[in-house]
Amino acid sequence: MSRVSTYLNFLGNTREAFEFYKEVFGTEYLAPIQRIGDMPMPEGAPQLSQADLDAVMHVELPILAGHVLMGTDFLESMGHELHVGNNVTINLEPDTRAETDRLYAALSVDSEQFAPLADMPWGAYWGSCLDRFGIRWMFNCYEPAS
């Protein structure tokens, strides 16, 4: 079933922010918090410090009416910068790859900041783009490749 959620980016304090949101909304995480060190590193990736490996890769917390906040830590060591425009992303989870392709193509028109759709290690057909109005969109489709 498709869903829409909001993805929040932080510079090292995702865990603290989500503990606060968890208390405010009185809800529980949908799954254990994933650390960056829990994901396989691509070949040729730079060596990360223990602090970077312990940073939050992904967290999901339901808030109201089925809406889910998700979050991650940006890594300063990787040159990530946090600013208005990349601190909040609308996450779309279409039911099909065809719908994902359609939405991605429409929203990425005239975009200079994008990550092409591709299969990812966490099982999603994933990509992102910044639309012509400065809104960041992320796509996660879990329909298997045919």
If you write DSSP's letter for every residue of 9-71 in order, what string do you get? EESS-HHHHHHHHHHHHT---SSPPEEGGGSPPPTTPPPPPHHHHHSEEEEEEE-STT-EEEE
30: domain range? 6-82
Would you say residue 1 lies in a domain? no
Would residue 143 count as lying in a domain? yes
Unique residue bearing structure tokens 């028109």 = 109
Band (85; pLDDT cuts 50, 70, 90): confident
One domain for residues 31 and 50: yes
Candidates 92, 52, 95; CA nearest to 72 is 52
What pLDDT is recorded for position 69? 95
**Cα gap 97→6, rounded to integer Å:** 20
The model's pTM is 0.75
Find the largest Cα–Cα distance for the chain. Answer: 42
Q: Are 12 and 77 found together in one domain?
A: yes
Which CATH number is 93's domain given? 3.30.720.110
pLDDT value of position 133: 75
pLDDT band at 42 (very low <50, low <70, confident <90, very high): confident
At 29 the pLDDT is 98
Residue 71: name the closest of 108, 34, 96, 41 by CA.
Answer: 34
Q: What is the mean pLDDT of the chain?
A: 91
| 20 and 43 share one domain | yes
Domains of the chain: total: 2
Among 30, 61, 82, the domain-final residue is: 82
Residues 122 and 73 grouped into a single domain: no
Specify the pLDDT at position 95.
94
